[in-house]
Amino acid sequence: MASSNETNKKRAVEFLQLVVSGRIEEAYSKFVDEKGKHHNVFFAAGFVALRKAMIENHGQFPDKKYTVKNVIGDGDFVAVHAHLDPGDGGRGMIVVHIVRFKGDRIVEFWDCGQQIPADSPNLDGPF
């Protein structure tokens, strides 16, 4: 049987992949406790507001791709480091999503991102 840490890592990745693919309602019904909270400073508090923003984003970028690079789990917390390509021909973004689980539900959510520049001086690259 998988540890809860491994299970939470799989749940977090599946949630994010469902969201990026536009299956936001399914992602929420499967994984989100809507009484929880998110910390995205661009949207009103509450998972209802975040879901609305995710739906709008999918409408703007229906061809985006999400490539997971690293997943770190520590108890109820999972961090997913990924490449988000909006499908607009650009280089995309480095993103980190952090989720906190209570049982099998996401009760807290953080996200942060950084654009990938075309002319970075760092030869190690973003990943």
For the chain, the structural domain boundaries read 4-114
| Helix (H), strand (E) at residue 17 | helix 4-20
Q: 4-114 — its CATH code?
A: 3.10.450.50
Per-chain mean pLDDT for the chain: 95
Least Cα distance to 101 among 1, 5, 3, 19 occurs for 5
Measured CA to CA, the distance from residue 110 to residue 127 in angstroms comes to 20
Measured CA to CA, the distance from residue 66 to residue 71 in angstroms comes to 13
> What's the mean pLDDT in 86-102?
95
Measured CA to CA, the distance from residue 57 to residue 51 in angstroms comes to 10
Long-range contacts of 67-73, Cβ-Cβ distance < 8 Å, separation of 24 or more: 68/13, 68/16, 69/127, 71/9, 71/12, 71/13, 72/9, 73/5, 73/6, 73/8, 73/9
Measured CA to CA, the distance from residue 106 to residue 77 in angstroms comes to 10
What is the pTM for the complete model shown?
Answer: 0.93
Alpha helices for 21-82 (secondary structure H): 24-31, 47-60
For the stretch 48-76, pLDDT in tens is 999 999 999 999 999 999 999 999 999 99
The predicted pLDDT at position 2 comes to 60
Measured CA to CA, the distance from residue 67 to residue 8 in angstroms comes to 18
The predicted pLDDT at position 89 comes to 87
Measured CA to CA, the distance from residue 48 to residue 34 in angstroms comes to 7
